[in-house]
Structure formats: structure tokens, C-alpha cells
Amino acid sequence: MASRRPKARRCADSVTVPLAFAFAGDRGEGVLFRTVAVTAEADRCGTFLCFTMEFDFDTHIHTPLCGHALGEPEGIIEAADERGLRMITFTCHIPMPDDSFGGRGIRMRREELPVYRRFVGEAKRLGEARGIEVRYGIEAEIFPDEGVMAQMDEILKAEPFDFVLGSLHHQLPAYHTWLRERGLVTDAEVIRHYFRHLEAGMHSGRYDSVAHPDLIRLYGTLAGPFDPADYEEVIRGALRAAAESGSCWEINTSGKFKGQGPHIHPLPEIFAWAVEEGVAFTLGSDTHAPEMLAQGFDDARRLLDNHGVASLRTFLKREPEERPVTARAAS
């Protein structure tokens, strides 16, 4: 037995293993430990190897500019380093023209954009010293009324964002009013419209990824429970739009911590349809405090693992990068 570990380490130096081949449990927060049988290498080594699989990036991070998040650049970079993150993308809420999209407690004002830019710049400077790449992103709005999108579009055009998330924050007064004015009150009507609006958002070309795609199940806009099976057709419509347009859907782990069911976004059934439709995925914790970075990433790993998804996508200067989700040897 004593000779096993050195053997395993020697093999491990030259082996990376697609996540889909891995099995067994996980330990730790944000860092995934897998015990895998590597067919070729196991034959040579005659042993099982212990691998570490890391998501070393988090691409949905808020700052105090949105009025409901905590953390300064220093603390966020420190927490990212502690969690083994090597790339983080800030995505604070984009300014919108009026308070029906939330006032100061929800999003920065347009004149505060330079402050946000400086915040990210400071994090970038601090990150460089620790080998952490910091990117400049934004959480933009998906909304059915093009009339209110002009200011947002100006910002998207003017700011040198690396990554643009699209969110339909149905819980905000703007969307409630939109629905009410059209007499859309039943859960079925609301759910169908929500996913049709995501579909239109995917086709708009504004967004690199749709954030927390099944957010409609949370925050009380619906009177009853949400069962994706009742809405498969309309959900698949939005998924096909994503696949056709090259927009991603986000695996957003914050859903697990919102107190209304222990599930990350999207639900497993929806994730399975997304895989079938050929949608690519981004990954974000939607953190509102440094200690929430990479929260729930173990659940994201399980979702990917269960469906044999072996890569995720990140964005730099709005260009997609494919990130193979691979395991590497634990040191």
C-alpha cells in the first residue's frame, strides 16, 4: 500500500480527466474533490487516483454600488484568493431610467458608473498582485418594453464591458405594472410571458448570458408552485433562442440560498432541456458579500456531472471562451 500514493502522484502529473468521467463525493466549499478511475492511467498505475476539480472562476458578483451588497475590493479579492478563484467578473445592476426598476437600494445611478469602473479597476490592481484576473461586467435588464431600453443600450454601447448578463427581475414594480396593464394575472399567463420575454431577450443580441433563468419561481410573483413540466414548450422556446443566438444560460447558485427551496438556478429539469437544446452555460454565485463568493458551487458541479456537461463559458471583451471543466490531480 505504501507505494500507491507516489505512483498515483506520478501519473497524476500528466493526467487531466473530464468531469463526466468522475464519480464519488465532494468536500470543501467551492473546491471539488473527486476520486476517479482513469481508465488508461489506472491500468498503468493499478490504483484509483484522487483528483481535485476546481471552478476557479465566478462571473456574477455585486458591489456596494447596487445598494444591497457588502464588500470592498480588498475583501473581495482576499475572499476570491481564499476560495482558489483565479478569475472573477463583477456584474453590478445596470442603471435604469426610473425607480420602477428599483431605486438606490437596488442599482447604481447613471452618474455613479465611473465609481463602479474605479471599484473594478482597484480590484483589478489588487487581483494582479495575487494572480487573480478581474473582469468588468454588468447585470443588464431584460424587459418587454423597448421604450425604456434606450438608456441601458447607450450604457452597453459606451462601457467597455467584458460580460453582459441579462435578467428579467419580475419582482420589480416595472414588470408587475407591465403584466397588470395587460390583464395578465394567472400564474400560467405570467410564466408563459416570462419565458417568452427571455426568448426575445436572447434574440436581441444584448446579452451574453441570461442570469438566474428560472427566477420566476421565487419572490412571490406567482400565487402557486412552479412546475417546469407544465411549461416545457415555452421554456424550450427560450432555450432554442439561446442556442441559436449564441447566448448562454447561467448556472446561478444563489437560488439555493433564497429560502424558497434548496435549488440553484435553473432547476434540474430545465437544465436537462437546456443540454438537449445545445445551450452553453456560464457560472455565477450572484454574491452580495465576499463570504458568498463561489457559494453553492458544489451543487453546480453535481448538475454538470449528472448531465455529462464538460465545459462552461466565460467572456472577455464580450467574446466567449470555452472553459473545459476538468479534474486535475490533488496535490
Three-state DSSP at 116 gives: helix
DSSP string covering 160-208: --SEEEEE--TTSHHHHHHHHHTT--SHHHHHHHHHHHHHHHHHHT--S
Closest CA to 208 of 166, 168, 169: 166
* Contacting residues toward Zn ion, per CB under 5 A: 139, 167, 286
Q: What are phi and psi of 144, to 5 degrees?
A: -75, -15
Beta-carbon-side half-sphere exposure of residue 111 (alpha carbons within 13 Å): 1
Looking at beta carbons only, is 22 or 218 nearer to Zn ion? 218
Looking at beta carbons only, is 254 or 326 nearer to Zn ion? 254
How far apart are CB 137 and Zn ion at their closest, in Å? 10
Stretch (H or E) spanning 210: strand 209-210
The sheet that has 16-18: what strands, in order across it? 16-18, 326-329, 49-54, 31-36
How far apart are CB 60 and Zn ion at their closest, in Å? 6
Looking at beta carbons only, is 23 or 219 nearer to Zn ion? 219
Q: What are phi and psi of 124, to 5 degrees?
A: -60, -45
How far apart are CB 286 and Zn ion at their closest, in Å? 4
What's the full length of the chain, in residues? 331
How far apart are CB 139 and Zn ion at their closest, in Å? 5
222: its cell numbers: 406567482
Looking at beta carbons only, is 92 or 329 nearer to Zn ion? 92
Looking at beta carbons only, is 89 or 326 nearer to Zn ion? 89
How far apart are CB 167 and Zn ion at their closest, in Å? 4
253: its cell numbers: 447558485
238: its cell numbers: 427560450
Query: How does DSSP classify residue 97?
Result: S
Looking at beta carbons only, is 206 or 307 nearer to Zn ion? 206
Looking at beta carbons only, is 173 or 324 nearer to Zn ion? 173
How far apart are CB 290 and Zn ion at their closest, in Å? 15
How far apart are CB 54 and Zn ion at their closest, in Å? 23
Cβ atoms within 10 Å of 3's Cβ, excluding its own: 9
Looking at beta carbons only, is 50 or 210 nearer to Zn ion? 210
How far apart are CB 296 and Zn ion at their closest, in Å? 14
Encoded amino acid at 181, one letter: E
What Rg value do the Cα atoms of the chain yield, rounded?
21
